[in-house]
Structure formats: C-alpha cells, structure tokens
C-alpha cells in the first residue's frame, strides 16, 4: 500500500512540474513582436518554425530554430528562440513518451541529422 501512495505522490509531482513549463505556442505568440522588425529572412524563419511547432512539425520547427540560433540575433531574440526550441523539444519528447509515432519518428530523424 505504501508503494502505491509513494508512486502516486511521485507521479503527481512530475505532473505538476511538467505543467509549470511554457508551451511552444504560448512562447511563440508572446515573442512574435521581437521578430516583427527583423530582417526578412530571420522573420520568415521565425514564422516558419513557429507555424511548424503549432502543427507538431517537430523536425521543421527544431531545425529552423537551430538555424536561427546561428543567426545574428539580438539577445532578446536569441532568448526567445532558445526558450521556444526547448519547449518544442520537450513537447516532442512528451508526445513520444505517450506513444506518438510521429514524435518518435521526428526524434529518430533529428538524431540522424545530428550525426551527419
């Protein structure tokens, strides 16, 4: 009986911690203004990455955010990109852990790209 109580408390704690994270959609919406006056290519990449994130297009979102991380961004823009790519990655891994085959495939594809 104690084992089940401890397990329940542990799972509740994990659930509360997971709920504290910011979603990729809320971060991208909040940070969109940072990219309004950005050069066209950077603005376009931000829009492409955030649109992909909203539709669970994990590979496109993450690879485009990684491209932005290497671009000449303001410190605020870089922070927005870093926070959002982290949220998308977390979302992808959570989906894979729930059995989402598309998320699992995206993880495999991203790992393959990283090895190249």
Give the model confidence (pLDDT) of 37-48 as tens digits. Answer: 999 999 999 999
Residue 12's CB is within 10 A of a number of other CB atoms, namely 10
pTM (two decimals): 0.76
Identify the band that residue 21 occupies on the pLDDT scale cut at 50, 70 and 90. Answer: low
Q: What is the pLDDT of residues 66-87, one digit of tens each?
A: 999 999 999 999 999 999 999 9
In the chain, where does DSSP find H-type helix? 2-20, 24-31, 40-54, 58-69, 75-97, 101-115
Q: List all residues 6 or more positions away from 87 whose beta carbon is below 8 Å from its beta carbon.
A: 21, 22, 23, 24, 27
Q: What average pLDDT does this structure show over 13-21? A: 40
Is the predicted pLDDT of residue 90 greater than 60, yes or no? yes
């Amino acid at each position: 009986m104690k084992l089940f109580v401890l397990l329940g408390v542990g799972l509740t704690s994990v659930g509360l911690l997971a709920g504290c994270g910011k979603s990729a959609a809320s971060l991208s919406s909040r940070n969109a203004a940072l990219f309004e006056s950005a050069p066209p290519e950077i603005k376009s990449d931000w829009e492409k990455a955030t649109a992909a994130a909203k539709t669970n297009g994990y590979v496109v979102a993450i690879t485009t955010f990684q491209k932005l991380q290497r671009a000449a961004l303001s410190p605020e823009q870089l922070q927005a990109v870093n926070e959002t790519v982290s949220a998308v990655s977390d979302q992808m891994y959570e989906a894979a852990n729930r059995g989402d085959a598309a998320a699992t495939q995206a993880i495999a594809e991203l790992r393959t790209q990283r090895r190249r």
